[in-house]
Amino acid sequence: MDIEPDEDGLVRLQKLLARSGVASRRRCEELMLAGEVTVDGEVVTRLGTKVDPRTAAVHVSGKRLPPLSEHVYLVLHKPTGVVSTMSDPQGRRTLSDLVADRPERLFHVGRLDTDTSGLLLLTNDGDFAQRMAHPSYEVEKTYVAEVEGQVYPNVKKRLLAGVELEDGPVEVRRAKIKQGAPGRSIVELVIHEGRNRIVRRLLEEVGHPVLQLARTRFGPLHLGGLKPGESRELSADELGQLLDAAG
């Protein structure tokens, strides 16, 4: 951070907004005076107001401004066959192998099964990683599965009504069913949980074992054009949306 804070670690709000790329200093002042800027849920119109740039929840015209930090936040497209750890005593391919060019010590947010592909978050912000993975924040996750058999509407109704597994019920927030190859179907599920092999166990419970599984979205984040094994840094907008999605 190249903003010089005062002895209390605070900076002027309009200076923080300008540094974060919102607009020019003058335009940021106009946005404040127009009531377009909130800090921790309160509208701030007084020019010269100081905030903590590391912790303040700042919104401009309804959009979350991510806090300034030296942390990095990556979206990774994990291929199948890669274990969701940063090291493995058995010598299997790990997440570290996919980001070997990064100098930071990275943590993964949650896990994907070795035989599941898709979106994973990596960061060197340990507190953020724990927060995003904690079930109490209920960040929605979207999965696309190819399953055995034709999935009929009554199965979709059962999924949306909630399915009881041996370790408790599973809430499915949204579900879409498409016809796949002969004898197969494509199921898209949106859930907020991250229990071990939860999607595979859920679909097997309703009679449709998973053949292939991928996670395509994590909150507002999506894979886009990322190919398996590729990663990219989150944009400021994406990070702000993700923080909002986690409350």
Is residue 199 within 8 A of residue 189, CB to CB? The reply is yes
Distance in Å from the first CA to the final CA of the chain: 25
Q: Which residues, including other chains, have CB under 8 Å from residue 7's CB and lie 6 or more apart? A: none
In the chain, count of helices (H) and strands (E)?
Answer: 7, 17
Question: Which residue in the list 2, 40, 88, 113 is annotated as catalytic?
Answer: 113
113 is catalytic: yes
Nearest alpha carbon to residue 212 among 243, 239, 241, 180: 180
Q: Would you state the structure tokens that stand for residue 113, as one six-digit string?
A: 């099964």
The string of DSSP codes covering 60-126 is ETTEEEPPP-S--EEEEEEPTT-BSSS--TT---BHHHHTTT--S--EEES---TT-EEEEEEES-H
67 vs 78: CA distance, rounded Å: 27
- The Cβ of residue 115 has, within 10 Å, a number of other Cβ atoms equal to 13
Catalytic residues: 113
